[in-house]
Amino acid sequence: MLLKYRKRLLGALVVALCVAPLALVNGNAAAAAALAPQPGTFKGYGFDACTAPSSDAMKAWLKSPYRAVGIYFGGNNRGCAQPNLTAAWVREQITRGWRMIPLYVGPQATCTTTTKKNLIDNKNAEKQGRTIADDAVGQAKLLGLAPESVLIYDMEAYRTNDAVCKAGVLAFMKGWTARLHDHGYFSGFYSSVSSGVADQVAVYNKAGYVKPDYMDFARWDQVVTTADKVIPSTYWTPGRRMKQYRGDHKETWGGVTINIDNDYLDFARLPSAKFGDWTRNGWPDVLARTKSSGNLFSYPGNGSYISEANRTKIAGGFAGMNAIVRMDLNRDGFEDIIARTKAGVVWFYPGKSNGKLGTRKKLYKKFTHMRELTAVGDFNRDGYPDLLATQISNGDVYLYPGKKGAKFGARKVLAYGNWADRTEFTGVGDYNRDGYVDLLVKETKTSTLYLYPGKGNGFKTRVKIGKASGFRDIIGTGDFDRDGFTDIFAVQSATGYLFLFRGTGKTLRAPVKMATGYKGRTPLF
């Protein structure tokens, strides 16, 4: 049976406030502050009930096949009171081995097929989604649900023939997801496969849309799987799906009967950013120099956009530098900056925990014979980050291996020949995911982007992965959206707009505008 709405919520009292007050969730957040993100990596059976069961009931249900439990932790359309749902209750259940599935029931589609009274404001849907996300994070923190927990928005079924309503849902969810990322949480989306899920599938690859990180879909066919004909096999995978496969019914375990829905989860925590996370908020950032002042700024990312409003000054005095890159050369967990003066002196600036720079150290007295200084990652796989550069006189490419003590060892040639027609050398980590870090290069005449797959001591045959006509300052930014693939940023020369090119491991997707105002900012690194 296809889910139209969650039956257990029908006839329930609807909270009239636009945003559910934090007081609705009881308990001491500090008691659960150290808990792991929920549900974390988990594959198996779960259930959800309108009201969180008592602690004794949860203990009895350890005899069941379930080990994940849905908790309705907030929202102005939440239908049941939660006398048991406290930070202490959450901690106790997690300690017993349960995983939490946080569910939030906020404003619904204006064309909803339920009786919910609190609806999306279609004219201000994205802004409203961000505001509601702020409330959800506040509620989650009161329960001790840690950052990187998945907060699932419960969007009940709605009519599919109302374009304005549909657009409102999509805009609302875009705002919800982006704002959760600001707070360090992941976004989940629950709906029926015929309405909400189908609409999210339709915009999965739409440029500029911020899709949910996880998909929780309802199809009451009692088939235990996370595959579905409505959802392409490459969407929300691996480890990003949950299915509600059976609706309202009663089950008894350990002598305790509860009215539940059945769920099956295949969740894994999102891949790490890999590199590029200067602010250490879990998401890669963009660093850039303001050309007029020589100041370095960090522009924090959240997987959805680059924040201009939250930019932070790192340091000044870099106007005389003609090359700037970043890497964790001293391996202390904080990214550092390597910069070269016009006279050829190369300096090492250690990054600090506050996002600033420590006392600099000279690495080279004269380095004017090299161009395209590139932080390429651990190319030779010895545990230290390496630097790559091209010799101007002959076009050969050299590796400067990182060494203990924040320095580089004797250089080694990686490739011979004339690389003079190639520019915008960019370290992209292990782009093709074969275990070796790779290099991205732009061919000057054609603006074609080529991937040079690394093999530890050189390169394999290059592969064309896209074009970047009219773009400058191409940088590898790690896995910006944390989908498991390295992405790149570049500035459009004519406009100064910052664009994101999402990676697929083989090619690059169409560029998406992320920010403006980069005409006077160079280089990016």
* Residue 191, strand partner residues: 217
One domain, residues 222 and 171 = yes
One domain, residues 235 and 307 = no
One domain, residues 173 and 77 = yes
Q: Is residue 184 part of a domain?
A: yes
Q: Is residue 125 part of a domain?
A: yes
One domain, residues 135 and 232 = yes
One domain, residues 326 and 238 = no
User: pLDDT truncated to tens, each residue of the chain (525 aa)?
Assistant: 333 334 333 333 333 333 333 333 334 444 434 799 999 999 999 999 999 999 999 999 999 999 999 999 999 999 999 999 999 999 999 999 999 999 999 999 999 999 999 999 999 999 999 999 999 999 999 999 999 999 999 999 999 999 999 999 999 999 999 999 999 999 999 999 999 999 999 999 887 889 999 999 999 999 999 999 999 999 999 999 999 999 999 999 999 999 999 999 999 999 888 899 998 888 999 999 999 999 999 999 988 889 888 899 999 999 999 999 999 999 999 999 999 999 999 999 999 999 999 999 999 999 999 999 999 999 999 999 999 999 999 999 999 999 999 999 999 999 998 798 999 999 999 999 999 999 999 999 999 999 999 999 999 999 999 999 999 999 998 999 998 999 999 999 999 999 999 999 999 999 999 999 999 999 999
Q: Which domain holds residue 247?
A: 42-267
* Residue 259, strand partner residues: 250
Question: What single-letter DSSP state applies at residue 457?
Answer: S
* 35 within 8 A of 90, measured Cβ to Cβ: yes
The last residue of a domain, from among 223, 240, 267 = 267
One domain, residues 185 and 260 = yes
The last residue of a domain, from among 198, 232, 267 = 267
Tokens of 376: 């390429």
CATH assignment of the domain containing 122: 3.20.20.80
Query: Residue 243 and residue 270: Cα distance in Å, rounded?
Result: 18
Q: Is residue 295 part of a domain?
A: yes
Q: Is residue 390 part of a domain?
A: no
Tokens of 190: 């629950």
One domain, residues 445 and 512 = yes
Q: Is residue 239 part of a domain?
A: yes
One domain, residues 118 and 261 = yes
One domain, residues 249 and 291 = no
- Structural domain tally of the chain? 2
Q: Is residue 37 part of a domain?
A: no
One domain, residues 244 and 296 = no
The last residue of a domain, from among 267, 302, 320 = 267
One domain, residues 169 and 207 = yes
Strands 150-154 and 186-192: parallel
One domain, residues 206 and 107 = yes
SS3 127: helix
Among candidate residues 45, 10, 39, 102, the one with its CA nearest the CA of residue 244 = 45
Q: Is residue 29 part of a domain?
A: no
pTM for this entry: 0.83
